[in-house]
Amino acid sequence: MGKEDMHLIWGSGSGPCWKAMIALAEKGFDDIEKTLIEFSKKGHKSKEVMELNSRGQVPTFKDGDIIVNESMAICLYLEKAYPNSGTKLLPEEVADYAKVIQLAIEAQENLNMKIMIKCIYFTWMTPEEKREGKEFIEAFENNIKDLKEELKIWEKHVKESESGHVGGKAFSLADVVLYTFVAYLVRFGSSLDDYPNLLKYYKNLGERPSIAKTFPPHWKEGPLEGKKLLFKGAL
Ligand SMILES: N[C@@H](CCC(=O)N[C@@H](CS)C(=O)NCC(=O)O)C(=O)O
């Protein structure tokens, strides 16, 4: 166990992988052994991944003999195993702790459903020719309406936090989770103009070394274009 024994398998542009990488960087473990897989080459179904995670999903993480799958579990594991290393992702004080875990789980559950499942995956799973149809357009618009309501909640949470961190006084697990979802909105074309506090949050935290250093490499190569920008003009 320890930095020398850690290994992360990850894919570029995966929100769950990014979360694990931000947490590792915050804990001071950003230079551990890492293997970058390519989704297009089914790297997530390779023997190496399947042996660690029978779901064939990344991130998958190993610390010596301890295997941890699931991005949230990786973050919680790092905090439990290395409480005194780097940033405290979970505060000591009970009321602060309650707030951080609530916001982290609230962000994970709701934003994963409303951004990833109901907008992005919903579009990707609809054959391109059907995306012009009335049925798809109506359903997508409804999902965008739900997402706008959801974003108002996060706009308020961020506005109420004076520290610039959503979970309270300092950077925490709640920011690890929230930031990656906000970045997805921007990646897919949202201007965040209607959410000025979220926009400020996105810009400010984007300069944090753990986030800047782990920003998905292929996102840096250039923005999405055309119809791929699902949220352009909508959010
Ligand atoms: N709940 C998991 C989700 C992991 C996940 O869905 N990873 C995606 C990449 S973003 C993946 O490996 N998908 C391949 C597949 O499910 O076959 C986590 O948070 O780690």
Instruction: Measure the CA–CA gap between 1 and 161, rounded to whole angstroms.
Output: 36
User: In whole angstroms, what separates CA 98 from the centre of its chain?
Assistant: 21
Q: Which of 12, 46, 81 is the last residue of a domain?
A: 81
pLDDT, residue 120, reads 98
Q: How far is the CA of 58 from the centre of ligand 1 (A)?
A: 5
Residues 6+ apart with CB under 8 A from 59: 8, 9, 10, 14, 16, 17, 19, 20, 21, 69, 71, 74
Choose one of 12, 22, 38, 57 to mutate for the ligand 1 pocket test, by most ligand atoms within 8 angstroms of C-beta: 57
* Domain with 21 in it: 3-81
Express as a percent the part of the chain with pLDDT over 70.
100
Question: Residue 48's domain is classified under what CATH number?
Answer: 3.40.30.10
Kindly report the CATH number assigned to the domain that includes residue 168.
Answer: 1.20.1050.10
- pLDDT, residue 38, reads 97
Q: Closest ligand 1 atom to the C-alpha of 57?
A: 12
Residue-wise pLDDT for 55-105, tens only, equals 999 999 999 999 999 999 999 999 999 999 999 999 999 999 999 999 999
